[in-house]
Structure 1
Amino acid sequence: MAVEGVGNFLKVRLPVRLEDGRTVNHLLWARLDAATIEEVVQRVRAGTLTGHRFAGTLANGVRPWDGDLLDAPVVLEGRPPVAERAVGLCEVVESERPVLAGVLAGRWPAEQVLGERDPRLRTG
């Protein structure tokens, strides 16, 4: 997505591993420079995005870290599609920002990450 006067954005996945073995995949926006977004588009069309790494910054946060993730520099990597005819997503794999590096490296309590949104807490 390109927003004139604002920037170029790509929907990316931020995996957050939970202490109970589950992984929560948050979908966030990453801001990319024009040359990088053009290369991503070309790689998607050519089917060569998987494994490719490139840099950007997160354009939004996610609970419970919210603003601590905003504008965090990230390294993104193309991931393969999970279904036939699907386009793979790009995933946050690294960051030099300590908070985000900790999110990626750690295992988090489900109640801290999901709170009431945890499907295991729903009844009926």
Structure 2
Amino acid sequence: MIGNPTPVCSCCGTPVPDEERIDVRFGLPDAALDVPEDARHEVGVAALLRVDGAGSFIRCLLPVRLTGGTELVLGTWMRISDDDLDHAHRIWDDPAYRGLTLRGAMANAIMPWGAGLLDAPATLVVRDPDEIPYVDGSDDELLRSVLTTTWDRDDVLSRFTHPLPVPVRTPLDEHWSVERSRGFTARVVDGTHRFLTPGRTVHCDVFTDRIRRGPEEFLTALLNGAPTVPPERQITEDTGNGIRHAFWTVATPNGRTQHELYGFTVDRDGNAAGVVCMWDKPDDLAWALHVWRSVRGVG
């Protein structure tokens, strides 16, 4: 995956990359994930692979248009015949590579389209002799749609759990979403969304007020048992549809200094989202406040 850092974000000081192209790479075809390493054989170059018992594969680029003028380029794999693999190997460093055209089947399930793309027939062509081939067309309706439709940027990117070079708005449930900062991995553990990168961690949870108190009363209940902090270490803001509150403190787990922000956003319908930001560098408070303020209602 490739990201190109550019200017610094005015709200939190994080480098903001060029969002016009995002590259994401699948390391192996799905069929090669569970086979022993000695069953995978590169054929001349890393883009050509023969897998014992699974067949022959070529790495290729699948371009996907996203909203906001972003192009997602997926480095994925296509299953091809053994003869086509040998042919591609013979001409890989030859001028004839410019004219390479191959037919095969997609070899990775790619979210948000999932298994629907696996084994979809596709045509590969070389667009640039300095790049691996591109998926150029398909008789499969879904893959053809992937190639020709402009897809919602956050809906697609939020499905990738590994670090991305741009921030991505990520749904927490049907009521709330939050911005996942660039460079963070994502996973859900026991209902808690966890975003991690070296030196920074975010945990997000959602809550429902079964007795339907007002936002201020529900916030008070959520803050029950919270530590007392001085006024300069807390903020309360009106959101227009409720209230949000955050406070920050310093902890010393295992003798290590850790900065922590606890924030809640409560709406008038009895729904709330909570974020916990933990970081190592004192100057990252602006980033934590940005994450807390990025929580918003869906719809």
Report the TM-score range of the alignment, normalised by the length of the smaller protein. Answer: 0.7 to 0.9
The yes-or-no answer on 1:112 pairing with 2:155 is yes
Which whole-Å CA distance do the structure 2 matches of 1:118 and 1:102 have between them? Answer: 25
Which whole-Å CA distance do the structure 2 matches of 1:74 and 1:115 have between them? Answer: 26
- Aligned partner (choices 79, 86, 101) of residue 144 of structure 2: 101
RMSD: 1.8
Amino acid of the structure 1 residue aligned with 2:123: V
Which whole-Å CA distance do the structure 1 matches of 2:88 and 2:127 have between them? Answer: 12
- Alpha carbons 1:28, 1:61 under 8 Å: kept: no
Where does the alignment leave 5 or more consecutive residues of structure 1 unmatched?
82-86
Which whole-Å CA distance do the structure 2 matches of 1:50 and 1:61 have between them? Answer: 28
Which whole-Å CA distance do the structure 1 matches of 2:153 and 2:165 have between them? Answer: 7
The Cα offsets for residues 33-56 of structure 1, whole Å up to 9 and x where unpaired, read as 011111111221213222432101
The Cα offsets for residues 59-112 of structure 1, whole Å up to 9 and x where unpaired, read as 11111001000000000012325xxxxx52111111111000000011011012
Query: Which residues in structure 2 correspond to 1:15-26 (within 5 Å)?
Result: 15-26=63-74
Residue 131 of structure 2 aligns with which residue? 88
- Alpha carbons 1:50, 1:88 under 8 Å: kept: no
Percent of aligned positions with the same letter in both sequences? 29
Structure (1 or 2) with the greater helix fraction: 1
The yes-or-no answer on 1:72 pairing with 2:120 is yes
Structure (1 or 2) with the greater strand fraction: 2
Query: Which residues in structure 2 correspond to 1:6-21 (within 5 Å)?
Result: 6-21=54-69
Where does the alignment leave 5 or more consecutive residues of structure 2 unmatched?
1-48, 169-180, 183-286, 288-299
Which whole-Å CA distance do the structure 2 matches of 1:50 and 1:22 have between them? Answer: 27
Compare CA radii of gyration and give the structure with the larger one: 2
Q: Which has the higher contact order (CA 8 A, sep 6+)?
A: 1
Residue 77 of structure 2 aligns with which residue? 29
- Alpha carbons 1:29, 1:60 under 8 Å: kept: yes
- TM-score, normalization by structure 2: 0.37
Amino acid of the structure 2 residue aligned with 1:115: S
Which whole-Å CA distance do the structure 2 matches of 1:51 and 1:18 have between them? Answer: 29
